[in-house]
Chain A
């Protein structure tokens, strides 16, 4: 069974930084590309960032490019998202998501809440 467990969500002030982690198990982590998807309170789903299986390529939504950095540690089976210069509009639950070999989002973690507020 695929398990994705996010951590690191917290209350942070505007302009601050925060790092999220996602511990993966139940599959060969190094074989799969991964993404972060977020959901603001009461809102829909928004893709944030993506990293290929070998970290060779990363992608970012326009709303976070230049502020967020995605990375992974394949030997440790961990996905990361480092967020800087946080804004109120970054407030959301952040989900770690396994991308299938056919490019859709397959398994999701339970999410971790990031709140940006003074």
Chain B
């Protein structure tokens, strides 16, 4: 089973600042990594797939990068609606599909 480790657990950022979230895989997942945003009481929403491809309707301030075992989600200028939980998912080797434990982006 591929283990995904996200860091940091909590990221405190001021509105308008850049946020950088990390996801590390226990073995190579190639480009087969996705990012999701989840707000309280809501379902996760797909942001990025293929490590760097934005999903339909996702603003350009969200960008993904990386391959193999090291991945980054960058939010270039945080808006109020971006404060949420973020999860990474690997879909290189399944089953099982595995998620990271999440990073909470909170207002500084």
Contact = CB atoms under 8 A, between A and B. Distances in A.
A88 interface: no
Nearest to B1: A62
B102 interface: yes
Contacts of A109: 43
Interface string B80-96: 00000001010100111
Contacts, number: 61
A47 B99 contact: yes
Contacts of A95: 43-44
Interface residues of A, number: 22
Nearest to A107: B46
A45 B44 contact: yes
Interface stretch (A10-18, A19-27, A77-85, A98-106): A98-106
Contacts of B42: 110
Nearest to A59: B95
A59 B42 CA distance: 26
B95 A47 contact: yes
A44 interface: yes
A45 B99 CA distance: 6
Interface in B28-42: 32, 34, 36, 42
Interface string A71-97: 000000000000000000000000100
B24 to A, nearest CB: 15
B50 A44 contact: no
9 contacts: A45-B87, A60-B95, A102-B49, A102-B50, A103-B91, A105-B36, A105-B44, A106-B46, A108-B44
Interface of B: 32, 34, 36, 42-46, 49-50, 55, 87, 89, 91, 94-102
Q: 5 tightest A-B contacts by CB?
A: A108-B43, A59-B95, A47-B97, A104-B34, A45-B99
Given A44-B101, A50-B97, 20 more contacts: A44-B87, A44-B100, A45-B87, A45-B99, A47-B95, A47-B96, A50-B94, A60-B95, A61-B96, A95-B44, A100-B49, A102-B49, A104-B32, A104-B49, A105-B46, A105-B89, A105-B97, A107-B46, A109-B43, A110-B42
